[in-house]
Structure 1
Amino acid sequence: MSNESPLIQSMRTAVAAAPADVPLRLHLAELLLGEGLGEAAVAEAAVALQHAPGDAGARALMMRAMGLPTPADDKAEKAEKPEEPAAPGPSAGFDWAAAENEVAGAVPPRFVTPARAAGPGVGAPEAPLAADGSGDPGDATAWEVDTPGSVTLADVGGMQEIKERLEAAFLAPMRNPELGRLYGKSLRGGLLMYGPPGCGKTFIARAVAGELGASFMSVSINDVLDMWMGNSERNMHEVFETARRQAPCVLFLDEVDALGAKRSRMQHGGMRNTVNQLLTELDGVGGANEGVFVLAATNVPWDVDIALRRPGRLDRTLLVLPPDAPAREAILRYHLRDRPIESVDLGKLVKVTEDLSGADLAHVCESASERALLDSTRTGVVRMINMKDLLGAAKEVRPSTDPWFASARNVAMFANEGGMYDELLAYLKRKRKL
């Protein structure tokens, strides 16, 4: 500090007064780097990246402060370097296998592979995207309809039991409209997904749309609710009209407990009218909902109006639980795919992350990255994310699903009307949470 110029000391005072001002902090880092204070510049750049993780300028400045080449330096070097004639070689192309064997001892593997018999085609394929909401492309805004996507249930890692139930109870009849007509089955349907938050209900809804080759439309309370009398009901009607025009269409009602809360608990007549409108639209008088598949998701199914679960509306339910072992492996692979890692034993990591939701697993990967980043900042040596970082992060993260199960247990035990929560009771007994 005593060797710093008055200008740098003044800049430090300004940064202390506005710690979240990223451009100001980067200007201080530039001044520090110009004075030859590389470690101090790295520390300021690291703080800037915490406020703005995607800031390319902060990343480039940190690399310069550490003495590493930046992408701009690489481009300049390539531009100055004259193009060399291609070396003669066999027409078959570069021998990648030989090159990989040559550098195998110098470059550590990204993942630790469990010991098993080797042979051609033994390696497992890249894990699919998992049901964690993180691989999720994002909810559609009001009136915005996504065209049939490429995401299907095959992209949901693990959760085989959920896939089988979806196939038997919902997808199979929808895929065979001729057979449905033979048996008098309407080409429409409703399914209510419930479970703890962060377990991939939205992603599953998108996968169902992909399985059916249908458009996808996501709606939440913000898209419907309006301060003016009558506008909320009109918005609800327009949502269903848009889905009918785009049929076949999967209409996803996110947080349906807000859109269709129990009317017996409502004091405000306007919201009661909105729930009534939702019930009317679900009925689809005159077969208007043909080709509209309504999926709804909630964390609190006991707060959903009972009329919504009447036959012909959201009459089928699906419990979406925390990811199983194959799903956890797929989620971890997804969130580590673009991060610098070495010697990560996914099998061990999957075991210590039991009961974590998809969102919790994403947080584990993020926390491990922060550990490696801060360590690199302190030592001045950039290192990979290793197993120690991931295990330390997993130890600190507590399952965010525990409060949900604490509430759901009482409902499942004492308010299991019609056996709706039988599947939840079986899971709680299996996990010894009763």
Structure 2
Amino acid sequence: MDHELILRSLRRAVAASPDDRALRRHLARTLVEAGAGEEAIAHLSTLLAADASDSESAQLLERALAASIDSAADQPDDGAVDSAPTSADDGPTAPESGPRAAELASEPSPSAAEFDWAAAEAQVDGLVDPMFVGGDGDEPDTGAFDVERSGLTLADVGGMQHVKERLDAAFLAPMQNEELRRLYGKSLRGGLLLYGPPGCGKTFLARAVAGELGASFISAGVADILDQYLGTSERNLHELFELARRNAPCVVFLDELDALGVRRTQTRHSGMRNIVVQLLQELDSIGADNEGVFVLAATNQPWDIDPALRRPGRLDRTLLVLPPDQVAREAVFRVHLRDRPVESIDLAELARRSDGLTGADIAYVTELAAERALLDSVRSGTARMIGMPDLLAALREVRPSTGAWLDAARNVVLFGDDDGTFDELRGYLKKSKRL
């Protein structure tokens, strides 16, 4: 079988299996032996772009470049080059094999000292796109996590004074009073678990803490960490904490912790158990130093979290984040009405009438009020302002979204293991007459 038939079969095989490295390398070697250096260079460049340590392809590329350079030198000055016919399904066809191809294949590769790298770069220029593009010369960042700087502070959090005091004791006071911190031996590390009903601003609080500290902020959710392949989730967790250590002081926010740190007694899949173990190791800073790394975690289901995560030195402090109080509700209404056309709005009255609503509920109330005013404007043909009647009508339509969560919390407090973790929650349920 001649070279052309072999090459035709190999090209079709590579087109059908483009990720088969051995097959593509075999095609490139056959092209080099047939004298088709430029086509071989394209295939070898593809292999080396995916794996720069592929020494066999690198050596073959040197042969292909040398053959291509010699072939260009042998061409007549007028640029007339004989070429074999091409077909639509086979791609470019290599020159006829002959004595010259055999001679090129038998020539030894030039040494590194003799190799003309400038000519080699000119040969491959434009054949393969660069792996990374950037103008600053820095190492490319291919991580899945972004390091941010939060512009929020606790002053941006309306009300919630008790929550602010707990956060100040846990993180802010030691960071802002270095001499006292050293005097009392308080380390710049720690973990705090924020729990409570959904929509109450746990993520907002975490960003405010980072802004108050003047620290870097990294937010990581379930989709950023969990992966279908065994071992990848653990590696993602390790990369997250390594990034935080390099950017210390840094606040790491782990959202939906119950999905990452589920009780190991409830898991049937060994992969989830490994993720919990990896998280424990990172919190314990095994093989690293977590000084200056503050971990804030949030969950709606604290009773599903592995108890080992709440042991001393890990997420050893818990903070209940409840629906906003009256001062906070007034602030939330102000934020969501700030950029809308409103008139004669009594924020204090709205806050008084919205007891039990979360921040997300209040945002929905303002959305409904704006929708009501918009529809009236469409019907009348004249735009009007959003007024108190619109907001009060919307308030009558919205019910607190915390009911199901509070019912589940009540069952945990009444029938679950009472180790004191949920004493604050028990007090709230009694105060709201749910116990």
TM-score class normalised by the smaller sequence: 0.5 to 0.7
- 1:32-72 CA-to-partner distances (Å, cap 9, x unmatched) read xxxxxxxxxxxxxxxxxxxxxxxxxxxxxxxxxxxxxxxxx
Match of 2:144 in 1: 142
Stretches of structure 1 that go unaligned for 5 or more consecutive residues are 1-140
- Say whether 1:298 aligns with 2:299: yes
* Residue identity matched to 1:257: D
Runs (4 or more) in structure 1 with deviation over 6 Å come to: none
Check 1:287–1:270 CA distance in 2 against 1; reply closer, same or farther (3 A cut).
closer
Match of 1:234 in 2: 235
* Residue identity matched to 1:144: D
- Report the Cα distance in structure 2 between the residues aligned to 1:414 and 1:315, rounded to whole angstroms: 23
What displacement does 1:246 show? 0.5
- Report the Cα distance in structure 1 between the residues aligned to 2:233 and 2:430, rounded to whole angstroms: 42
* Residue identity matched to 1:411: V
Paired-residue identity, %: 67
- Report the Cα distance in structure 2 between the residues aligned to 1:199 and 1:357, rounded to whole angstroms: 5
What displacement does 1:351 show? 1.2
Q: Does the CA contact (< 8 Å) of 1:257 and 1:300 recur in 2?
A: yes
- Say whether 1:208 aligns with 2:223: no
Larger radius of gyration: 2
1:261-272 matches, within 5 Å, as 261-272=262-273
- 1:55-113 CA-to-partner distances (Å, cap 9, x unmatched) read xxxxxxxxxxxxxxxxxxxxxxxxxxxxxxxxxxxxxxxxxxxxxxxxxxxxxxxxxxx
What displacement does 1:221 show? 1.2
Match of 1:349 in 2: 350
* Residue identity matched to 1:161: H
User: SS of the residue aligned with 1:355?
Assistant: coil
* Residue identity matched to 1:251: V
Q: Give aligned pairs, total.
A: 293
Match of 2:246 in 1: 245
User: SS of the residue aligned with 1:417?
Assistant: coil
With the length of structure 2 as denominator, give the TM-score of the two structures.
0.66
Coordinate RMSD, CA, aligned: 1.4
Out of 335-344 and 313-322, give the one that drifted further.
335-344
- Report the Cα distance in structure 2 between the residues aligned to 1:188 and 1:325, rounded to whole angstroms: 33
What displacement does 1:430 show? 1.1
- Say whether 1:392 aligns with 2:380: no
Out of 266-275 and 285-294, give the one that drifted further.
285-294
- Say whether 1:326 aligns with 2:327: yes
- 1:105-125 CA-to-partner distances (Å, cap 9, x unmatched) read xxxxxxxxxxxxxxxxxxxxx
- 1:308-341 CA-to-partner distances (Å, cap 9, x unmatched) read 0010000001000000011001100100011111
Q: Does the CA contact (< 8 Å) of 1:322 and 1:358 recur in 2?
A: yes
Match of 2:16 in 1: none
Match of 1:222 in 2: 223
Check 1:326–1:416 CA distance in 2 against 1; reply closer, same or farther (3 A cut).
farther
- Report the Cα distance in structure 1 between the residues aligned to 2:434 and 2:172, rounded to whole angstroms: 32
Stretches of structure 2 that go unaligned for 5 or more consecutive residues are 1-142
- Report the Cα distance in structure 1 between the residues aligned to 2:353 and 2:262, rounded to whole angstroms: 37
Match of 2:189 in 1: 188
Q: Does the CA contact (< 8 Å) of 1:220 and 1:259 recur in 2?
A: no
Q: Does the CA contact (< 8 Å) of 1:142 and 1:219 recur in 2?
A: no
Match of 1:161 in 2: 162
User: SS of the residue aligned with 1:420?
Assistant: coil
What displacement does 1:415 show? 2.0
Q: Does the CA contact (< 8 Å) of 1:142 and 1:218 recur in 2?
A: no
Check 1:174–1:417 CA distance in 2 against 1; reply closer, same or farther (3 A cut).
farther
User: SS of the residue aligned with 2:408?
Assistant: helix
Out of 225-234 and 300-309, give the one that drifted further.
225-234
* Residue identity matched to 1:142: A
- Report the Cα distance in structure 2 between the residues aligned to 1:414 and 1:356, rounded to whole angstroms: 27
Match of 1:336 in 2: 337
- Report the Cα distance in structure 2 between the residues aligned to 1:417 and 1:164, rounded to whole angstroms: 25
- Say whether 1:280 aligns with 2:281: yes
Match of 1:365 in 2: 366
Q: Does the CA contact (< 8 Å) of 1:356 and 1:399 recur in 2?
A: yes
- 1:176-225 CA-to-partner distances (Å, cap 9, x unmatched) read 34433333332101000000000000000011111111000001111111
Q: Does the CA contact (< 8 Å) of 1:152 and 1:210 recur in 2?
A: yes
* Residue identity matched to 2:418: E
With the length of structure 1 as denominator, give the TM-score of the two structures.
0.66
Match of 1:28 in 2: none
User: SS of the residue aligned with 1:250?
Assistant: strand
- The higher-RCO structure (CA 8 Å, 6+ apart) is 1
- Report the Cα distance in structure 1 between the residues aligned to 2:205 and 2:230, rounded to whole angstroms: 35
- Say whether 1:429 aligns with 2:430: yes
1:49-64 matches, within 5 Å, as none
What displacement does 1:286 show? 5.4
Match of 2:19 in 1: none
- 1:123-178 CA-to-partner distances (Å, cap 9, x unmatched) read xxxxxxxxxxxxxxxxxx9310102x331111101111111121123321233344
- Report the Cα distance in structure 2 between the residues aligned to 1:288 and 1:233, rounded to whole angstroms: 18
1:36-185 matches, within 5 Å, as 142-147=144-149, 149-185=150-186
- 1:278-331 CA-to-partner distances (Å, cap 9, x unmatched) read 000000025611110000000000011100001000000100000001100110
User: SS of the residue aligned with 2:356?
Assistant: coil
